[in-house]
Structure 1
Amino acid sequence: MVFAIIQPDDTWILWAFLTGWAGVSIYLEQKFDWASKISGAIIALVGAMLLANFNIIPTESPVYDTVWGYVVPLAIPLLLFQSNILKIWNESGRLLVMFLFSAIGTVVGAIVGFFLLKDFVPGLDKVAGMMTGSYIGGSVNLAALSARFQTPGELVSATVVADNLMMALYFLVLMVIPTVAFFRRMFHSPHQELVEKSVNKGDKNLAASYWRGKEISLKDIGLAVGSAFTLVAISFKLAELFDQVIPSGDDVSFVLTTINGILGDKYLMLTTITLIAVTVFTRFFERINGAQEIGTYLIYIFFVVIGVPASLPIILENAPLLFVLVFIMVALNMGISFVFGKLFKFNLEEIILASNANIGGPTTAAAMAISKGWNKLVAPVLIVGTLGYVIGNYIGAAIGYWFGFY
């Protein structure tokens, strides 16, 4: 291990850095427009990457293992507390259909990108699986699937760098599309027309606008954190039991191995148990304020950690090809979204937000709806986007497992 000023066993100092830098990244994102455009996630990652490459913090430490083992699993249920399947359909059925069409574009993009690039990027099966989950759900799926596939940290870092560069271009295109005459002629845009009839400056920082303050009590914090720990404990224990009971390996049938891979996977089990709990005890989870904020903060800590083992030469070597992969995935997601949107007569705003909810997640889609003044679509896209957190893990795991055969 390369010498670093801060040693791997400097536990409190490393925790102070991880939590503190995550907080700074969020502050910068919400305070300054340039940081909002870059995104807090890339600020978190790059900051840690630079300190690690300048040998200020160690590239390996038990503290980082704790983040992977505890922080990431806790973030998953916290971000799923609003994912009631029944509510998603009743309130947002139309947008949900468009969201699923858009998800097809993500899967097609992953397949095309993988088979074009698999001979040039080692471990691309893991990356394609991760990004399929991420481009249907969000960063929580990236975290879960990278842990599931045990993707090397430097490869995850390179992928995130390529992804964030793609996101910057992608969001810029999405923001411009509603103003382009071609798209206005091709698609109905009632929400944009309503905005244009009124004065809407919309000049507030998107991150600050979305994460505006809300009422939260000590009871909310207690219920959110306590519920998350309980769901993780039950899910991981069940997955462990299934993994022990159901045989797997080369000497058993493919069916049993597959069943073991599904029921014995702790992240898929966590997604399933949380989804069932949220659907059955809807009123309980919907009344908990602050769960999304706490979960998102934990994900920012994850972004700091994945920046730590990043080797700059490896990123410079791999990121260009990984950028081609994410470009193909995003381009096909957008293209297929607009094709299906035209065929089934969806509004321009619905198509844009459905694609955004896939690629960027519900928070970026809701932030875009807020910034564009499409107020009636904010809640529906947030609800629909949370479905991506649920199905993203399943589809991403299936894609990664399939590509692993190649």
Structure 2
Amino acid sequence: MNSSFISPDDVWVLWGFIAMWAAVSIYLEQRFRWAAAVSGAVLALGGAMAFTNAGILPTESPVYDAVWTYVVPLAIPLLLFQINLRKIVRESRRLLFVFCISSVGTVIGSMIAFFLFKQQIPYLDKIGGMISASYIGGGVNFAAMAAKFQTPGEYVSSTVVADNFMMALLFFILMGIPALKWFQKQFSVSEIAAPEKNQAESYWKRNEMSLRDIALNMGTAFAIVVVSVKTAAFFQGLFPSESDSFIVRLLSGILGDQYLVLTTLTLAATFAFPRYFEKMRGTQEIGTYMIYLFFVVIGIPADLRIILINAPLLLAFVFIVAISNLLVSLAAGRIFRFRLEEILLACNASVGGPTTAAAMAIAKGWRELVAPIMLVGTFGYLIGNYVGTLLGTWFSSFV
């Protein structure tokens, strides 16, 4: 019997809470510095968790299932529509190479951390797949892998808390490294231009969006999701996920996974029709808002006691993954003689995503690298799901 103040069947009230709290979290993050430091994702998750633990919201509802089933899949293609592989390769080859090295660092760190903590942290095979995907791509990859592996909500929430704490720590480390004399002696460093006061404001300007943009965005996203779901179901029948063979399970996890099929079809569409997708406006805004709905929902069933118990261990797990990324990036960058700012931005883009990397470039005055690192960071959205699926499926054979 549910004892919450709001009934699980009160659909409109629950949808209203999810939508409004996501809006509040975004507003606070963009309005106040303390909220930006905490991050909108943690605000969305933490607020929902507080309402649930106070007995106001139910821990289970068909509304929450709808977010996992419909909202997350729609958000993925929307956030991938602006990927232009031709442009990335043409304009950002050096950064793309460093980014790929940083991604290898994430893979190495994920494997090391998994085998260190697989006996201590429950569902670490699923969490490992989520983090490895997220630390190559971003929040959209985290959401996709959480839905794919069906990780229990309280462990997803614990991982988000640990992940955001680690991101804040890593950001401070990356921002501080260029000022250290040892790194200046070991790496070539360009002269840092003083950032203009209004540079960030001019870069993150308001985007125009028409009714046609919204219609094309949603219509195209729905079409790709429909084809992906049907295609994945077909291959699931050919390669059952319950098979004892690792190869069959891997094929099922790749060809029969709607999230990977969704990623692949979106990439194929953007590659085949680049002009169509380049003209779209509002894809990032709509997709990001949908991801915030996801962050609210994963905080609702979270038990605060479980989060407090698991967060320290998970923090150690993500720390190993992030530091491995940084160390591999620095070592390879030293060998191939990349500039220090290129290495740090690639590390930031792989772990934190294109927006945090662009923010760092803006803050440090590396103006010529802002647009290239945004392009390269979006490439992480593309490959993150593949890496997360591969590692998560492999990890599952050890638990």
Q: Shorter-normalised TM-score: what interval?
A: over 0.9
* Amino acid in the other structure paired with 1:293: E
**Alignment gaps of 5+ in structure 1:** none
Q: Which moved more, 1:77-86 or 1:99-108?
A: 77-86
Structure 1 segment 348-387 matched on structure 2, within 5 A: 348-387=340-379
Q: Is the 8 A contact 2:253 2:393 kept in 1?
A: no
Asked whether the equivalents of residues 60 and 309 of structure 1 are also in contact (C-alpha less than 8 Å), the reply is yes
Residue 226 of structure 2 is aligned to residue 188 of structure 1: no
Aligned to 1:86: 86
Shift, 1:221, TM fit: 1.2
Moved more, 225-234 or 366-375: 366-375
Residue 109 in structure 1 maps to residue 102 in structure 2:
no
Decide whether the 8 Å contact of 1:210 with 1:366 is kept in 2. no
Report the alpha carbon displacement of residue 9 of structure 1 after superposing the two structures with TM: 1.1
Q: Which residue identity lines up with residue 43 of structure 1 in the other structure?
A: L
| Matches for 1:91-170 after TM superposition, within 5 Å | 91-170=91-170
Output the CA distance in 2 between the equivalents of 1:16 and 1:209: 33
Once residues 174 and 248 of structure 2 are traced to their aligned partners in structure 1, the CA distance between those partners, rounded to angstroms, is 44
Assess, with a 3 A threshold, how the Cα gap between structure 1 residues 50 and 210 changes in structure 2: closer, same or farther.
Answer: farther
Which of residues 232, 240, 243 is equivalent to 2:236?
Answer: 243
Amino acid at match of 1:227: T
Task: Say whether the 8 Å CA contact 1:2–1:55 is kept in structure 2.
Answer: no
In structure 2, what residue type is equivalent to 1:335?
A: L
Match of 1:231? 224
Give me the whole-angstrom Cα distance separating, in 1, the residues matched to 2:80 and 2:183.
34
Corresponding residue SS for 2:92: helix
State the secondary structure of the residue aligned to 1:195: coil
Contact 2:250/2:390, CA 8 A, preserved across alignment: no
Worse overlay, 254-263 or 331-340: 254-263
Give the C-alpha shift of residue 185 in structure 1: 2.3
Equivalent pair of 2:354/2:376 in contact (CA under 8 Å) = yes
Asked if residue 302 in structure 1 is aligned to residue 294 in structure 2, the reply is: yes
Deviations, residues 264-311 of structure 1 (Å, cap 9, x unaligned):
111110000001001111111011011011111111111111001110
2:397 alignment partner in structure 1 = 405
Alignment of 1:222 with 2:215, yes or no, is yes
Asked if the contact 1:202/1:371 (under 8 Å) is kept, the reply is no
The answer to whether the 8 Å contact 1:99/1:355 transfers is yes
Q: Which residue of 2 aligns with 1:23?
A: 23
Query: What amino acid does structure 2 have at the position aligned with 1:243?
Result: Q
Once the two structures are superposed, the pairs formed by residues 179-328 of structure 1 within 5 Å of their partners are 179-190=179-190, 193-196=191-194, 200=195, 202=197, 211-247=204-240, 249-250=242-243, 254-328=246-320
Matches for 1:37-116 after TM superposition, within 5 Å: 37-116=37-116
Q: How much identity, in percent, do the aligned residues show?
A: 57
* Contact in 2 for aligned 1:202/1:372 (Cα 8 Å): no
- Alignment of 1:388 with 2:380, yes or no, is yes
Distance 1:77 1:381 in 2: 20
Q: Partners in 2 of 1:359 and 1:48 — Cα distance?
A: 25
Report deviation, 1:370: 2.1
Q: 1:18 to 1:209 in 2, by over 3 A?
A: farther
Deviations 1:291-332 (A, max 9, x none): 011111111111111001110111111111000000001111
Paired residue type of 1:290: G
> SS at the partner of 2:193?
helix
RMSD: 1.6
Quick one: which amino acid aligns to residue 350 of structure 2?
N
* Runs of 4+ residues deviating >6 angstroms: none
Structure 1 residue 346 and structure 2 residue 344: aligned? no
Within 2, Cα distance between the matches of 1:83 and 1:329? 26
Shift of 1:210: 6.0
Kept after mapping to 1: 8 A contact 2:348/2:357: yes
Per the TM alignment, residue 243 of structure 1 is displaced from its structure 2 partner at its CA by 1.5
How far apart are the structure 2 equivalents of 1:5 and 1:260? 42
1:278–1:285 CA contact under 8 A, matched in 2: yes
Confirm or deny: 8 A CA contact 2:136 2:383 kept in the other structure: yes
- How far off is 1:209 after superposition? 6.9
Letter in 2 for 1:231: I
> Could you tell me how far apart the structure 2 residues matched to 1:24 and 1:42 are?
12
Q: Write the distance in 1 (CA, Å) between the matches of 2:147 and 2:226.
A: 17
Alpha-carbon shift at residue 127 of structure 1 (Å): 0.6
Given that 1:25 and 1:44 are in contact with CA atoms closer than 8 Å, whether structure 2 keeps it comes out as yes
Q: Secondary structure at the match of 1:350?
A: helix
CA deviations 1:321-358 (Å, max 9, x no partner) are 00000000111111111111111111111111100111
**Structure 2: which amino acid aligns with 1:238?**
T
Residues 133 and 385 in structure 2, CA contact (< 8 A), matched pair in contact too:
yes
CA distance in 2, matches of 1:105, 1:65: 34
Deviation track 1:78-128 (CA, whole Å, cap 9, x = no partner) reads 110122222211111110000000001101110111111111111111111
Deviation of 1:371 (Å): 2.3
